Amino acid sequence: MATTDDETATLKPEDCELGSAVWDMKRDVPGVVMGHLGGRVQLRAVSGGREWDAKELRKLTGREEMRLHLAARNEASRSGL
């Protein structure tokens, strides 16, 4: 699969908005921005759990955003929400 500009463009931690979903390039997983601390972004898994600090971030591609939304909807339907 070819790499797109979205998959290589990094974000500065201060450019990440609270509540937005970003990709942690070091862990190679998506996360939701929960806060900023000392030049790092605090992320939490989309499904919840413990927060972690990240510095190397990028925006999600359209495909990744769609997968996250579908996964959240599927989880909600399994939970009866």
* DSSP one-letter string for 31-53: EEEEEEETTEEEEE-TT---EEE
pLDDT tens, position by position, 7-49: 667 898 888 999 999 999 999 999 999 999 988 999 999 888 9
Average pLDDT of the residues in 4-8: 57
71 confidence band (pLDDT: 50, 70, 90): confident
Task: Say if pTM beats, i.e. exceeds, 0.85.
Answer: no
Q: What does the alpha-carbon distance between residue 55 and residue 10 come to, in Å, rounded to a whole number?
A: 10
Find the mean pLDDT for residues 45-56: 91
